[in-house]
Amino acid sequence: MAMAEKQSAHREALESRVVNGNVANQTRGSYFAFILALVTILCGFFLIYKGKSGAGLAAIVTSVAGLVSVFFYSKREQRKERVEKASALRSRRSQ
């Protein structure tokens, strides 16, 4: 019995480390994406300032479009996941 409890505690510790690592990676990725988008937008403004309005505008528009598309994609995926979880929960309750 003690061995099973020890194994269970070990498994829970490993799962906790994996979850915490995934959260840290997602947070770090969000920060890097924000910094990259900010740098791209600032470079776009710099290009506009230097007289290269087409390239600067393209840099700004593509950066903002990328951010917006990622936002809407993640919202759609979250909605889909919520619907799947709600449907699984309903099917469990009906059984």
Tally of structural domains, the chain: 1
Contact indicator for 66, 34 with CB cutoff of 8 Å: no
Q: What is the pLDDT of residue 90?
A: 83
- Amino acid type, 94: S
Q: Three-class SS of residue 36?
A: helix
In the structure, what pLDDT confidence band is assigned to residue 4 with cuts at 50, 70 and 90?
confident
| Residue showing tokens 């019995």 | 1
For residue 95, pLDDT beyond 90: no
In 3D space, the residue among 45, 39, 37, 40 whose CA is nearest the CA of residue 68 turns out to be 37
Distance CA 95, CA 91 (A): 6
Sequence-distant (6+) residues with CB within 8 A of 27 are none
* Residue range 6-65, pLDDT digits in tens: 888 888 889 989 999 999 999 999 899 899 999 999 999 999 999 999 999 999 999 999
Contact indicator for 36, 17 with CB cutoff of 8 Å: no
Domain that holds residue 70: 2-94
Q: Which residue has the higher pLDDT, 80 or 92?
A: 80
| pTM for this model (two decimals) | 0.66
